[in-house]
Amino acid sequence: MRSSYHTVTIVYRKDMDMKIGILAVQGAFIEHEKMISSLGAECVELRKKEDITDNLDGLILPGGESTVQGKLLNELDMFDILRHKIKSGLPVMATCAGLILLSENLSNDDSRYFQTLPVTTRRNAYGRQLGSFKRNANIKGIGDFEMVFIRAPYIEKVSDDVEVLASVDNHITAVRYKNQLGLTFHPELADDTRLHQSFLSMIK
């Protein structure tokens, strides 16, 4: 009994060594922090350039307002260094506005941000009447998941090498491309840690 208990402890400590940077200039970052911490990884709030250190194992781009986040990333001089890290393979989980920041193209907006994810995304795609809603849908590799949409985008087009993980009413809501996990909804607001867990497992 004793020795197996110790084995479990060691595995848990290994998890604790994981450091996840969470962009914290605007938007729903606290909820991600709670989830990531509950899974045993350390969270670092990225509020300024100096917070983006070399020892980050992963990055979360939260929901919020992509225009505001994009503007702040530039003003705070955080944009280039984050883009470089994503391009160099740092695992990133992007939700809603975060996904808009990653998208190579936006179909209804002239702004462009990191452009590291080869998809075309439509901002505020559900219109005013459907500002906020929940739907259950299947996510590849995870199963049925409650998706919380808030003034959400959807993904209209993906390049061949992007894996589509989930769709709702024929609109793509989750994709994986190399080190990037892009979600149009807010998994941090569902009482379900499986997507965050699967993100942590993308980190070697």
**Positions marked catalytic:** 96, 186, 188
For ligand GLN, the closer CB: 57 or 109: 109
**Selected binder of ligand GLN within 63, 91, 118, 182 (CB under 6 A):** 63
DSSP string, 111-170: ------EEEEEETTTTTTTTSEEEEEEEETTTEEEEEEEES--EEEEE-TTPEEEEEETT
Q: Does 32 bind ligand GLN (CB under 6 A)?
A: no
Sign of CA dihedral 202, 102, 141, 164: negative
Q: Which two tokens stand for residue 145?
A: 């998941």
**Selected binder of ligand GLN within 22, 25, 96, 189 (CB under 6 A):** 96
Q: What's the length of the chain?
A: 204
For ligand GLN, the closer CB: 42 or 65: 65
Q: Does 100 bind ligand GLN (CB under 6 A)?
A: yes
Query: Which residues in the 110-129 window bind ligand GLN by CB under 6 A?
Result: 123-124
Q: Please, are residues 113 and 78 in contact by the beta-carbon 8 Å criterion?
A: no
DSSP string, 179-191: TEEEESS-GGGSS
| Count of other CB atoms within 10 angstroms of residue 153 | 28
Q: Please, are residues 151 and 139 in contact by the beta-carbon 8 Å criterion?
A: no
For ligand GLN, the closer CB: 63 or 91: 63
**Selected binder of ligand GLN within 97, 119, 148, 183 (CB under 6 A):** 97
Q: Interacting stretch for ligand GLN, rule CB under 6 A, among 7-15, 76-84, 92-100, 163-171?
A: 92-100
For ligand GLN, the closer CB: 19 or 83: 83
Q: Which residues bind ligand GLN (CB under 6 A)?
A: 63-66, 96-97, 100, 123-124, 150-152
